[in-house]
Structure 1
Amino acid sequence: MDRKEFLKTLGAGAAFAITFSCLGGCTNDNGDIFPEDIAIDPDPVTGALLTLDLSAASSGPLKKNGGYLIKNRIVVAKDLNGNYVAATVRCSHEPRDKIIFRNNEYYCKEHSARFNTAGTGLNSKGKNNLKTYQTSLDGNILSIFA
């Protein structure tokens, strides 16, 4: 049996039930897009969502202004002024983990949504804004907080 024959045997009712169940979970009652998908549990001791040792080789991209890295679904960047900024990797336009940092702004590789370092949308696809996080630097340790 090929795919077309299989789909005919399912009937319209089954197709509707499958489609409805898939689409029904996309938003909550507040209209938020997939909020549970971007939840990150903080460290129980420090409260940080993420801690980076900037002296470690893995933090190399953060040594230069404009550099960024992605860890634990968080985009951490050093903006062109030398400030550390952080945001979710999950785009607010459509729930895809495609946010990067380029040209001193967050950019979605999937739909070209653009956001400034505060998470404010810069084009029509960024109108829902982006979740950003607070950063704190203590010596070589960069911590990211909700």
Structure 2
Amino acid sequence: MWKYTALLAAGLGFSLPAAAEVINDYQGAGCRYEGAVGKDGKPEGKGEWRCRDGRSYSGQFKQGRFHGKGVYSVRVTLPVFLETFNVNSTKLRDMDLDGTFRNGYADGSFKVSQGGTLLFVMKFDKGMMQAVNLPNAAKK
């Protein structure tokens, strides 16, 4: 009986999520990360990154970079360069970009919405915009 209890306890230990940590001024002054971190102290796993200027990202991180499924939101008041997308924020102001990131850059298909309404679908390759299309429903 005791060996099963020990196995259960060990199994639970492996399934528990990493403790959430806060990193202030992460990727720039006025930006803050909150979520899982790796042994190196960098974001690793699920977390949120928010900046006072209105940029934010909620999703997966790997070795401190956006990596995996996530949503990048742009609510900036002054123009800033969005390195993740290789564009100026004025082109994406008040929009949410939902897609996949690889090594800190947008990669693949992104649904772009504003106020919950899907506006268009953008395709990126390593942060470089390749195409912009209307959503299927709007094409009809």
Structures share fold, TM-score greater than 0.5: no
> Quick one: higher RCO (CA 8 Å, sep 6+), 1 or 2?
1
User: So what's the TM-score if we normalise by structure 1?
Assistant: 0.30
- Which protein is bigger by CA-based radius of gyration? 1
Write 1 or 2 for the structure with the bigger share of strand. Answer: 2
TM-score of the pair, normalised by structure 2: 0.31
The structure where helix makes up a greater share of residues is 1
